[in-house]
Amino acid sequence: MKKYALITITILLAAALHVKALTIYNTKYNNFGSINHSQASKINGDFLQLNNKTSSNIIVTDTTNIDAFTNYKYYIKFANLHNKEGKTYKVTDPHGKSKSISSTECGLVFNHTSHGCWQVSVSCSNSSLYNESVDSRTMTVKLIRNDGTGTVVNQATLDSGVDLDEGYNYLGVNVEGNTITVKIGKDQLNEVLTYQLTENDREAATGIPSVKVGYFAGPGSMISIERAVLSFDDQPQFPATSLETQWTREALDRHFAASKNPYEGYWTYLDRDMEDQWLKLGGKYTIALVENENGYDVIYVDGAQVKKSMWHMGMKKAEMTQTIFTDNFTGKWYDATLQPIDDDVFVTFESGVIVNFKFPVYKSQIRFSKVLNE
């Protein structure tokens, strides 16, 4: 029999972590469920927005606690909706006095504790706004240690590869060992800053059991978040032993030869519509659909590329649970690191020869075609 392939999904960058990777996301599809909302934040359609009309930063954090000194990665897709050239935005200080701000800033926070946090700040400005012949617009990205002083430890100035107006950019931070890496980009993430933690930085974290991540809106800014993804080290929730089945290739062949269910059998990748900034392909897989009392088990046969040593013939790659609607299922995928993707996963059969796995949280779908007996 020919070898066929199926593509699986892994959360962006989770495959770069070791087997103990845990991924948590916030989007409109879960109502940004793990976010500590403030009075200034609201869900507006696809986005969570934070409108800061005060003269101080407003910070919103994820409820997730990350063990101090754990490696993690945090990425957001965001826009500053108060970032128009030549426009000013009014804020009010605690005494009721108002002032106007022309260059607003916003971004993400990480290593957040009750004692302070680190920030990645993004702001745009013009060199000579009212002289078009010499004017240029740039973005300044700052890495800030905010322990009461707001010390800028590194910064970069960009004039390309990012949206300099009110459009959306990707922004991320990797915290690995003693190294902090900042990435940003309109269409793809590009590394722009790195910083090595000093002895004083490490001493300041002594005795802190856990940290949080989130984002902030500076005075006058209005940050709009489409989604946020946090990946960090943790114990695996679903060890490999829990995905073992009794199926072998020979047993599958015998089962399919006797089956009268047209959906049982081998399926191969047909096409995809994915947002690669948030999802990553784990390999070209051969899989088998086997009917059970609730729907179908999806069995791994071959083709793993990411974390290849963790996968072998007969492991469960996914689950499909029947709904009240004909040929419609809810789904659960196990990514390359054995972690489940099960929030708002839907599976449908089309014309009996195509199965469509839909991941609306990530604005993606993958279709597969039935392998017909020759």
Using the structure block, give the residue that is written with the tokens 């590194």: 154
Q: Please tell me the predicted confidence (pLDDT) of residue 234.
A: 62
Tell me the pLDDT of the chain averaged across its residues. 86
Give me the domains of the chain, ranges plus CATH numbers: 7-12+236-370 (2.40.128), 21-233 (2.60.120.200)
Q: Which residues contact 28 (CB under 8 A, 6 or more apart)?
A: 43, 45, 46, 47, 48
Could you tell me the pLDDT band of residue 262, with boundaries at 50, 70 and 90?
A: very high
Helix runs in the chain, H state only: 199-204, 249-258
Of 364 and 55, the structure prediction assigns the larger pLDDT to: 55
Maximum Cα–Cα distance across the chain: 80
DSSP code at position 35: B
Q: Number of H helices and number of E strands within the chain?
A: 2, 27
Model confidence band, residue 346 (pLDDT cutoffs 50, 70, 90): very high
The span from the CA of 121 to the CA of 140, in Å, is 8
Residue 3 has pLDDT above 70, yes or no: no
Give the pTM: 0.62
Q: Averaged over 295-306, what is the pLDDT?
A: 90
Both tokens of residue 102? 């022309």
Task: Evaluate if residue 4 carries a pLDDT over 80.
Answer: no
> What tokens were used for 79?
């826009």
Give the 3-state secondary structure of residue 23. strand
Task: Write down the pLDDT at residue 206.
Answer: 67
DSSP string, 287-327: EEEEE-SSEEEEEEEEEE-TTGGG--TT-EEEEEEE-SSTT
Q: How far is CA 130 from CA 87, 157, 159, in A?
A: 12, 21, 18
Q: Which residue has the higher pLDDT, 39 or 243?
A: 243
Other C-beta atoms closer than 10 Å to the C-beta of 310 total 14
Grouping H, G, I as helix, E, B as strand and the rest as coil, residue 113 is: strand
Predicted confidence (pLDDT) per residue in 139-157, tens digit: 999 999 998 788 999 999 9
The reported pLDDT for the residue numbered 337 is 75
The predicted model gives 32-43 an average pLDDT of 86
Query: Encoding tokens for residue 163?
Result: 């949206």
pLDDT tens digits for range 188-226: 889 999 999 887 887 777 667 789 999 999 999 999 999
